[in-house]
Structure formats: C-alpha cells, structure tokens
C-alpha cells in the first residue's frame, strides 16, 4: 500500500524523528494485516491416528494445514466444514504470496458455490470505490476502467491484479455475488495518524460515511504486538505518542473493515450466506484488530480465521500456535531472481 505522508508537527528534532519512525512502521503495516470461538473443528478421533498430511502437499486444496490451537492436521474438507458453520471467514495473507492467492480463490469459489448469496469482502478496495465495483459487476464498465478507478494495479507486488485479487472479483461476478469494498480511503487513515480522531469527527457527514472509528484504542495483545514490531523496527521502545500515531490509523482500518463486514451480514438475503474477508495477516492473526472489531460489530455471528503463512513446515510451528483457527503453510518464499536485491 502507499506510504504515509511525513508528519509536520512543531516539536523537538528528537520527537520528530520518533514520529517519522512511527509512520515508517505504519507504511510497513499498510504493506503487510481474544475473542470467543463460536465453533470448533471436528473432534479428534480418540481411537487412532487423526488425519495425515498428503505425501506431497500442493496448492491450493492440499497444502499443510493445522488447527491453530492444538496442531492437529486439517484437511480441506475440515476447513470447508468449519466455514459452513461460520458466518464470517477471515483469510489473512501476505500480499505478495501467489500461493496464498490461489488458496483464497479456492476458498471463495467453494463457498460461493455452496452458499448462494455469499459476499467477498476485500481490504484492497475502499468504500469510496464501491460504485466502481458495482458498475464492473454489472458490466457497466470494462476491467481496465475498474482497475484504473480503484488503483488496483498497486496491490499484490509484481503479480498482476488479474492474477491475484482480481480473480476473487471475477469469481463473485460469475456467481452474481456481492463484492464489498471494505476499507477506509487512505486519506482518512493518514489523517487519523497525523491529527487524531477529532479531525475525522469534524469532517462532513458524507465523508464520515467512508470510515468508522473505534470506541477505544486497544490496550491488550494487539497493541502489544504493535509495540513489539515498532521496537524491532526502531531498535528501542517507542514513546506513547509514537505508538498511538500508528495504532490510531491501524484501528481505523480494522473498525471500518469490521463494520463493512457487519453490514454485509445484515443485508444478506440468505441466513446461510457467508462473508469472506481477505486481509493482511497482521489485522487478523492472534485475534487481531479486525477480528476483535467484527466481534464487537456483529457479536452474534460466528467467525472463522484462516491464516496463510508463507513457510515450509509439516507440523504447526511454535510461533504459529494460536495465530488463527486454521493455519495453512503456503511454502517457502521464492528466491530472488538474478538482478533482484
């Protein structure tokens, strides 16, 4: 995603450097993204070995998948069964992971086929772009105009939009399903970091409709993860001001996406229909901000979180325990090509 603008505040040089470091981290998070569990995976078989991994895991439906709580092997059928008993399926990814994009397409395709009226919700599209999304789904504009008007070519690294998130939009289009432009426009996210929420509350109602603000800033594990990331990035613990300069916009994203998902649930015609939301992993891993805010916005709806981790592993890694309801390993990152850094 685009980098945040530098913050121009009247402060000492040290404070300015601290704020710049915070905003650099914010831009990294833009590039990246404790709740009650309303469902459980199928019970383990106490009489003998549970499911085994495929001899040669391959994408998208036979990768190495594990229950995030106890590390049990999960099959595609298990994932779909858990999704069938959920209202919201949140899929966390790294934006430039081509294998993750293939898994997302498989999840979306299977759920749209099995549960008519389901919707695809995307972090990669912003609320002010909903009209363009609807126009494209209705064949009122061509793909090139849709990509240009939504800035979609800027997503997913070197992989074209048509081969990544565009495939999710096309899957929805083929099945007459909705696509939810879930995110807040970037100018409001940046304003939250620079000037705080009061500046957003002072905007006209038509602009305020394009974002949502959290009832409070997180004080728990989500904030702690952000502080840990900032400390690693800066080499020292950040100030409270620097933390909140990053946490404020982060939670504008989370709350706006969560309210967009909740609206999608409220307006579905079929109670069995799902909302499948694709988002950067920081937002949903370890009950991240988007998951927490969906729980607040739609407390009676059941959430399944699937985290697509770019790693090569045949068992759940210690650092991934509790990351999501289901952890899917998409394989190692590709090696740099000649001439690449």
Of the pLDDT bands very low, low, confident and very high (cuts 50, 70, 90), residue 7 is very low
Crossing angle of the two packed helices 186-195 and 240-266, in degrees rounded to 10? 150
**What are the structural domains of the chain?**
61-329 (3.40.50.11550)
User: What is the mean pLDDT of the segment spanning 266-281?
Assistant: 96
pTM, two decimal places: 0.86
Please determine, for residue 234, whether its predicted confidence score (pLDDT) is greater than 70: yes
130 prior amide bond cis, ω within 30:
no
Q: What is the reported pLDDT for 159?
A: 81
Please determine, for residue 174, whether its predicted confidence score (pLDDT) is greater than 80: yes
Residue 235's contacts (CB-CB under 8 Å, 6 or more residues apart) are none
Please determine, for residue 50, whether its predicted confidence score (pLDDT) is greater than 80: no
User: What is the mean pLDDT of the segment spanning 245-265?
Assistant: 97
User: What is the mean pLDDT of the segment spanning 121-140?
Assistant: 98
Choose between 156 and 5: higher pLDDT: 156
Residue 322's contacts (CB-CB under 8 Å, 6 or more residues apart) are 68, 69, 286
Q: Please tell me the total number of residues recorded for the chain in this structure.
A: 341
Choose between 324 and 58: higher pLDDT: 324
User: What is the mean pLDDT of the segment spanning 153-158?
Assistant: 74
Of the pLDDT bands very low, low, confident and very high (cuts 50, 70, 90), residue 57 is confident
Q: What is the reported pLDDT for 58?
A: 79
Q: What is the reported pLDDT for 157?
A: 67
Q: What is the mean pLDDT of the chain?
A: 87
Please determine, for residue 14, whether its predicted confidence score (pLDDT) is greater than 50: no
Residue 162 tokens read as: 């048509």
Q: Quick one: three-class SS letters along 292-312?
A: HHHHHHCCCCCEEEEEEECCC
């Amino acid at each position: 995603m685009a980098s945040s603008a530098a913050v121009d505040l009247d402060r000492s040089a040290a404070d300015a450097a601290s704020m710049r470091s915070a905003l650099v981290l914010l831009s990294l998070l833009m590039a990246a993204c404790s709740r009650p569990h309303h469902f459980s995976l199928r019970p383990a078989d106490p009489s003998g070995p549970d499911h085994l991994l495929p001899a040669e895991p391959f994408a998208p439906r036979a990768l190495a998948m594990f229950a995030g709580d106890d590390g049990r092997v999960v099959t595609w059928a298990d994932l779909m069964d858990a999704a069938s008993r959920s209202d919201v399926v949140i899929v966390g990814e790294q934006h430039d992971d081509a294998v993750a994009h293939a898994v997302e397409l498989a999840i979306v395709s299977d759920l749209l086929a099995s549960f008519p009226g389901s919707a695809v919700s995307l972090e990669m599209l912003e609320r002010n772009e909903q009209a363009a999304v609807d126009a494209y789904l209705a064949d009122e504009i061509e793909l090139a105009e849709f990509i240009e008007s939504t800035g979609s070519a800027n997503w997913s690294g070197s992989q074209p939009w048509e081969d990544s998130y565009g495939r999710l939009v096309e899957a929805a289009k083929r099945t007459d399903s909705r696509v939810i432009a879930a995110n807040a426009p970037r100018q409001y996210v940046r304003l939250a970091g620079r000037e705080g929420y009061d500046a957003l509350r002072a905007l006209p109602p038509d602009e305020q409709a394009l974002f949502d603000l959290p009832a409070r800033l997180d004080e728990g594990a989500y904030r702690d993860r952000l502080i840990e990331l900032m400390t690693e990035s800066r080499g020292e613990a950040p100030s409270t001001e620097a933390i909140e300069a990053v946490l404020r916009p982060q939670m504008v994203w989370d709350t706006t996406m969560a309210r967009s998902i909740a609206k999608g649930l409220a307006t579905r015609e079929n109670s069995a229909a799902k909302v499948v939301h694709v988002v950067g992993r920081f937002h949903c891993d370890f009950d991240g901000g988007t998951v927490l805010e969906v729980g607040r916005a739609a407390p009676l709806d059941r959430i399944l979180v699937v985290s697509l981790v770019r790693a090569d592993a045949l068992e759940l890694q210690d650092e991934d325990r509790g990351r999501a309801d289901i952890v899917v390993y998409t394989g190692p990152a590709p090696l740099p090509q000649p001439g690449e850094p």
